[in-house]
Structure 1
């Protein structure tokens, strides 16, 4: 091995994974206090905000497999946080709706998510945070921010 061989700490991917692990791990512990996983939170908040209302729509919105979303929905139904309701306009479509307990919990979990983001990213100015988000979207291949994310306030 020579001194010119790159090491672990020379790779941006390593640092991105470390940051992701830190942000995710802290958030995961806080959500666990409410009996919800990060993946379940993603479904809950997506349905709560109306960004998607069917399993297929949620799958596209959060970019995970339809089968995985269906299993997450099943777990959320078992926790009495979400339900599948027939669409009045189509007998083939089942809409996801939050139960009363789910509607009460979703905004509290969103506050936890906001505080977690603030914990890790408050040192960034709003402009630098937007720039970081834009760079990440570019690297991931997403050209536009998700609906409702035109500007970030924290």
Structure 2
């Protein structure tokens, strides 16, 4: 069996090293964080999507399903299924929004809040491990730079 020759970049193409590409590191860090969170949350009976939902509800009194989907970066129909599963497990409750009955609001329950606190403890441990070699100012600068990149990528 013969294999095709490896294609080399054209001579007029600028050199490329993945380690010099910030998006390489962003995706690597994100994937590693996701793997660690998934492994750590599983014994609690949570997955990363449920953890994101619980954390989104921690910051506000009640959110609509579409607000949760935006916050968690999950498709709306997937978010709806997650919320239904979490409702059945007693982690959240749903109600119509007082100002617009067509909108379903989601609220965290005491059980959901207990799991959120446990998950937060796990996440804090991963955070400490991840940023052990960086100081507070480094973390603030990193957050600021990532926020700038995020806004630069805003859709028109």
TM over 0.5: yes
| Alignment counterpart, residue 34 of structure 1, candidates 40, 44, 52 | 44
Tell me: CA distance 1:52–1:99, structure 2 relative to 1, closer, same or farther (3 Å).
closer
Q: 1:132 matched to which residue of 2?
A: 142
Residues 1:85 and 2:95 aligned together = yes
Three-state SS of the structure 2 residue aligned to 1:33 is helix
Tell me: CA distance 1:28–1:125, structure 2 relative to 1, closer, same or farther (3 Å).
same
Paired residue total: 143
> Which consecutive aligned stretches of 4+ in structure 1 deviate over 6 angstroms post-superposition?
none
Deviates more, 1:119-128 or 1:79-88: 79-88
- 5+ long unaligned stretches in structure 1: 144-154
Deviates more, 1:83-92 or 1:116-125: 83-92
Residues 46 and 58 of structure 1 are in contact (CA less than 8 Å); yes or no, is this contact kept in structure 2?
yes
Tell me: CA distance 1:142–1:71, structure 2 relative to 1, closer, same or farther (3 Å).
farther
RMSD after superposition:
2.6
Summarize deviations over 1:25-68 as a string: whole Å, max 9, x none: 11111011111111111111111331652112212333433222
Three-state SS of the structure 2 residue aligned to 1:84 is strand
Tell me: CA distance 1:129–1:52, structure 2 relative to 1, closer, same or farther (3 Å).
farther
Whose Rg is larger? 2
Tell me: CA distance 1:39–1:66, structure 2 relative to 1, closer, same or farther (3 Å).
same
Three-state SS of the structure 1 residue aligned to 2:28 is helix
Deviates more, 1:4-13 or 1:60-69: 4-13
Deviates more, 1:90-99 or 1:3-12: 3-12
> 1:139, CA displacement in angstroms?
1.3
TM-score by length of 1: 0.78
- 5+ long unaligned stretches in structure 2: 1-7
TM-score by length of 2: 0.77
2 CA distance for matches of 1:82 and 1:129? 32
Three-state SS of the structure 2 residue aligned to 1:80 is coil
Residues 76 and 82 of structure 1 are in contact (CA less than 8 Å); yes or no, is this contact kept in structure 2?
yes
2 CA distance for matches of 1:47 and 1:11? 34
